Amino acid sequence: GQQLNQSPQSMFIQEGEDVSMNCTSSSIFNTWLWYKQDPGEGPVLLIALYKAGELTSNGRLTAQFGITRKDSFLNISASIPSDVGIYFCAGMNYGGSQGNLIFGKGTKLSVKP
């Protein structure tokens, strides 16, 4: 089945630094999503991307849908302590069943004040 490779697995950064993480797939997706999971909570949707090449921002977060439709990246600018958590990418294709949202294994972000 389809698999997503998300990297890096973890990051330890200083407050104020920029962060970049990415996801790649062996096959194409029609939609890329980025979620954040705070400790002890469920994932929350940050950004949704629907078109190849699309660049979308949400505050300090910017995500892009790769031209090949096989990758996506998420950037966080000027990190702050509340950015701590696990970030998941997810890919989906239209049609077929509803159960086809595929998740990456996550990037665990730690921010040192």
Partner 1 sequence: NAGVTQTPKFQVLKTGQSMTLQCAQDMNHNSMYWYRQDPGMGLRLIYYSASEGTTDKGEVPNGYNVSRLNKREFSLRLESAAPSQTSVYFCASSERGAHGYTFGSGTRLTVV
Residues of the shown chain interacting with partner 1 in the complex, contacts defined by CB under 8 A: 1, 6, 9, 31, 33, 40-45, 48, 50, 88, 92, 97-99, 101, 103-106
- Smallest gap from residue 106 Cβ to partner 1 (A): 5
Return the closest-CA partner of residue 100 out of 44, 23, 31, 5: 31
Sequence letter at residue 60: R
Handedness of CA 51, 55, 59, 60 (dihedral sign): positive
- 85/36 Cα distance (integer angstroms): 7
- Smallest gap from residue 47 Cβ to partner 1 (A): 10
- Smallest gap from residue 31 Cβ to partner 1 (A): 5
The two structure tokens encoding residue 54: 């699309």
- Smallest gap from residue 16 Cβ to partner 1 (A): 29
Cβ proximity to partner 1: between 36 and 73 the closer is 36
For residues 102 and 45, the answer to whether their CB atoms sit within 8 Å is no
The two structure tokens encoding residue 66: 């790769």
Cβ proximity to partner 1: between 45 and 67 the closer is 45
Cβ proximity to partner 1: between 14 and 98 the closer is 98
